Amino acid sequence: MKSFDKRDQFRRFFAALFKPNELVEFRFIESWISSGKRKSRVAAPAQWIRAGEVAEEYDDLVRFAETERANIYFGVCPRPRVGDATDETIRTIRCLWADLDDVTVDEAWQRWEAAEVPEPSIVVNSGRGVHAYWLLARDLMTHEECERIAHLLPSFYAQFGGDHVQNFSRVMRPPGTINCKGARNGDPPLPCRLMKCDPERRYQVDYFDRWTKPEDVAVTLTKNGVTLVEDNIPTSSDICANSADVALLAARLDLPCHDRSRRDFAIVCGLLRLGLSPEEIWAVVADKSKFETGGRSYFELTVANAERAVSLHATSSAAPELPA
């Protein structure tokens, strides 16, 4: 997209994500490393500003943040009232969002293409990673619709290596600001820049139904008439993986499928749970499905995502982190 100055990036971004009268929560947090541990400091109380007025507040927000070496974060979902800052208070979901750490914008695009993820509506270079937003064709406002999103986000992220934190009160960095992470340690500040903003690119929520929680991904196996679900595949502590189990899973890769990426991901999860190493899995799948055409790069992305999903499901108490 053409280059815009920082204030205009800020304005365009919030105009795409929010309606003018909606409340945006802003947080101001300094973060650094001390004795090998992550530290943070709340530089000021959170502010709730109407989306139509954020551009007017831009200079004051940025000036304060730079003085305090603080990072500016905003709540992705509109806040119903001043003071609302928890998942339970969220009433409107207008987009899906993702945070990819330590990647370039080009690398992020390669991941999305390899995972057959649709083109994001908005892409932000956060300075030390990439943030993406997929605008929805309509706002989701019921409890059932929110639950629907909560069920698909983990697997959606796992497909391309996004950060596992997906709570509705999630905060991200807005473009037009500075990434000051580690300033106290001498790390140089980096600009957070708007790389793409296409408010007209919107998706029906049904499009994302292909992604569900990793533990809900069904791998249908014709074994004595039993349907085996990936979450119920015995772990290596329960059984010793044998050739019949592996062959049964691998055979699914030869069958027609409307979503090969999702199927490939589920099969690799199953093989990992059977105790196979990545190299052993590669030997099994190299000539099948998208692994044959996508080669080693597609495999490495899939197995990395699968390892993350299997590990995350086993230790689901991981603490949330601020975005890159």
Predicted confidence at residue 312, as pLDDT, reads 66
Q: What is the mean pLDDT of each run of 10 residues along the chain (324 residues)?
A: 80 97 96 87 95 96 93 96 91 95 93 91 96 97 87 84 80 95 91 97 91 47 32 36 69 74 86 89 88 84 86 52 66
197 near 1, Cβ under 8 Å? yes
Predicted confidence at residue 317, as pLDDT, reads 42
Which phi and psi (to 5°) does residue 288 adopt?
Answer: -125, 155
Predicted confidence at residue 244, as pLDDT, reads 66
Bridge partners for 44 per DSSP:
28
Domains of the chain: which residue ranges?
A: 6-209, 214-314
Pairing between β-strand 129-140 and β-strand 202-203 as defined by DSSP bridges = parallel
User: What CATH number has the domain spanning 6-209?
Assistant: 3.30.70.1790
Transcribe 176-234 into DSSP letters: TEEE-TTGGGTPPPEEEEEEEE-TT-EE-GGGGGG---GGG-B----BTTBPPBGGGSP
